[in-house]
Amino acid sequence: MKKYENRLREIKADEPIFSIPPFKVERVYAAHSQTIDWGVELVGVPNFWRYTKGKGIKVAVLDTGVAYKHPDLEGAIFEMKDFTNSPSGVGDINGHGTHCAGIIAARDNSIGVIGVAPESDLIIGKVLNDNGYGSEETIVNGIEWAVETGANIISMSLGSPYPSVKIYDAIKAAIKAEVFVICAAGNSGPNLDTMDYPGAFDETIAVGSIDRRKKISYFSSRGKKVDIVAPGDEILSTYPPRELAKLSGTSMATPFVAGVSALMLSKHRQFEGQTQIKKQSDLEAHLRKTAIDLGPLGFDQSYGYGLIDPNKLLELNYSKCLELLAAQVK
């Protein structure tokens, strides 16, 4: 942690230094007939749902809680816990956490929206209060609890300009326990060196945002630690109490990457009986190797290694998958 010490400040454990990046609710919709968001279509995620929808993978969303009675999240929540002592408990008054949860695991139920990995399970840790702020203590407790509860992936769409030694240690412990940690780059663009922590830590996978034109979102934070970009502009997902809304931010791109990662892990387990990707460095290497290069040739501080590409990342052996699926039907 020495490389970050010059940017540390003295803080109390209960000081609210971490928060959700600024976001705007574009519009609220009633959840009627089912819609597939543009981002899910853009990178071809529906092509893989016949083979895997993320079954058996648990994704922890550490955020502002969840609207656990939302019809699109019915049956999606494996476990949930409030770390903020909120009067609303784990319920999401803010809306941010519910939106992130839906991007990952909104169910394929003919109404509302469908998430990237609609058969994955959610572990909901409310580490940010109803105003969207959290402390070092709540976030550390949430990370540790998520690992203990069996998370395969932790998705954190929160940030601070200041690093935290305790959060850094908790993240390293999670990674050592073979839990993947995916974080938002932040919404402080377009200038360089604007990334938030914990996304700016070397060990995390930091996600930036693109729009429908595959251009970097103006708000997306830039820097040398950006690893990958994903759709994050005007993303339609679940919103309290039982609605849908369009939100923009790297907060939306982060659970998108978490959802695709859940599909990949589920695919490995379903068709190979195990996963070849166990370490954070393995996932990061796969994301970098398979990304669609955008912007200047090669790595750059806006797009990182490029746009996440499920087609290459999942690399399904279609003939083998079809044989196995046919055998399961019999």
CATH of the domain at 233: 3.40.50.200
Catalytic residue status for 251: yes
**Annotated catalytic residue: which of 188, 248, 251, 302?**
251
Q: What is the DSSP string of 132-197?
A: SEE-HHHHHHHHHHHHHHT-SEEEE--BBSS--HHHHHHHHHHHHTT-EEEEE--S--SSSS-PPB
The structure's pTM equals 0.90
Residue pLDDT, tens place only, 189-246: 899 999 999 999 999 999 999 999 999 999 999 999 999 999 999 999 999 999 999 9
- Judge whether 302 and 191 are in contact, CB under 8 Å: no
pLDDT confidence tier of residue 27, bands split at 50, 70 and 90: confident
Residue pLDDT, tens place only, 241-288: 999 999 999 999 999 999 999 999 998 777 665 556 778 888 888 888
Catalytic residue status for 202: no
Residue pLDDT, tens place only, 155-186: 999 999 989 999 999 999 999 999 999 999 99
pLDDT confidence tier of residue 13, bands split at 50, 70 and 90: very low
**Annotated catalytic residue: which of 63, 82, 121, 233?**
63
**Nearest C-alpha neighbor of 243 from the set 86, 71, 96, 90:** 71
The number of domains in the chain is 1
- Judge whether 149 and 121 are in contact, CB under 8 Å: no
pLDDT score of 5: 46
Catalytic residue status for 266: no
Domain range for 238 is: 2-329
**Annotated catalytic residue: which of 70, 96, 99, 286?**
96
d(CA 48, CA 177): 28
